[in-house]
Amino acid sequence: MTSRQGSDGSSSARVSGSPVIDIRDVGKRYDEGPPALDGLSLEVRQGEALAVLGPSGSGKSTLLNMIAGLDRPTEGSVTVAGVRVDELSETASARYRRDRIGMVFQFFNLLDDLTVLDNVLLPAQLLGQDRSGARDRAAELLGYLGINRHAAAYPGRLSGGERQRVAVARALMNRPALLLADEPTGALDTASGAEVRQLLTDLNADGQTILLVTHDLSLAESCATRTIELVDGRITRDSRHPRAETAAGR
């Protein structure tokens, strides 16, 4: 990762050729009702920041769950960072989540009885990484995200925006090929939401591939370089666009 200062503040992410997500003709049907996903194909390249919009019930969370290997399609294939996610066993799927993707949720999902530093160190511990290397990585991330002064604090003492920064640091610990975020600003006040928006924008400007599900149009416009809209499990709009607000303009 380059330093925050090293970012040139431009709104154009470095998008390269290799697909991080390759979803082909994916359907998800339940016993009753219309399909949650219906013949959906999507390719996301390295360096893209993709926002997924769409009305309630349109299949956004279902799509995210397929990509995270938390659910399986009834048709089609899901390949992420070269891994056929739809074919993984439960154990292999858990390992895939730990090794290849980072996840950020609306309500942070931090462990309140661990310090900020220990929360960030968790994924490395699960990988069995050596402790000093992991501490260096955690310290680098806490510095990058501007929360190193809270390393010894417990999450309950932090603001919502700070907690979400800790969650992002934890998600980035194992250098994921893909950062998934489900309504990352959904539980935040306006100021904290703007902070997290800027953080995701900076991360993408530094090369992190991001997929975020959101109802927050301003998040999609300011952070994403591409937006898709889902309706009834199908993609009805797919547009690449410059960010509305650049890091330089903050």
Ligand X SMILES: Nc1ncnc2c1ncn2[C@@H]1O[C@H](COP(=O)(O)OP(=O)(O)OP(=O)(O)O)[C@@H](O)[C@H]1O
Q: Smallest gap, in angstroms, from Cβ of residue 56 to ligand X?
A: 3
Query: Which of 20, 38, 47, 59 is the binder for ligand X (CB under 6 A)?
Result: 59
Single out the residue of 126, 62, 117, 76 nearest to residue 97, CA to CA. 126
Is residue 220 at the binding interface for ligand X, with CB under 6 A as the rule? no
Query: Which of 11, 46, 58, 209 is the binder for ligand X (CB under 6 A)?
Result: 58
Is residue 61 at the binding interface for ligand X, with CB under 6 A as the rule? yes
Which window, 28-36, 92-100, 108-116, 171-179, contacts ligand X (CB under 6 A)?
28-36
Minimum CB distance to ligand X smaller for 36 or for 103? 36
Single out the residue of 158, 228, 213 nearest to residue 181, CA to CA. 213
**Rg from Cα positions in the chain:** 18
Single out the residue of 24, 43, 46, 12 nearest to residue 177, CA to CA. 46
For residue 120, what are its two tokens? 């960030």
Is residue 159 at the binding interface for Mg ion, with CB under 5 A as the rule? no
CA angle 186–189–195, rounded 5-degree value: 85
Is residue 36 at the binding interface for ligand X, with CB under 6 A as the rule? yes
Which window, 56-64, 152-160, 164-172, 188-196, contacts ligand X (CB under 6 A)?
56-64
Q: Binding-site residue total for Mg ion (CB under 5 A)?
A: 2
Q: Smallest gap, in angstroms, from Cβ of residue 36 to Mg ion?
A: 10
Query: Which of 4, 24, 39, 57 is the binder for ligand X (CB under 6 A)?
Result: 57
Binding string, residues 39-68; x marks residues near Mg ion by CB under 5 A: ---------------------xx-------
Residues 166, 138: contact at Cβ < 8 Å?
no
Neighbouring residues of 248: CB distance < 8 A, sequence distance ≥ 6? 9, 10
Helical spans, DSSP H, in the chain: 60-67, 90-100, 116-127, 131-144, 160-172, 190-205, 217-223
User: Applying CB under 6 A, which residues contact ligand X?
Assistant: 30, 33, 36, 54, 56-62
User: Applying CB under 5 A, which residues contact Mg ion?
Assistant: 60-61
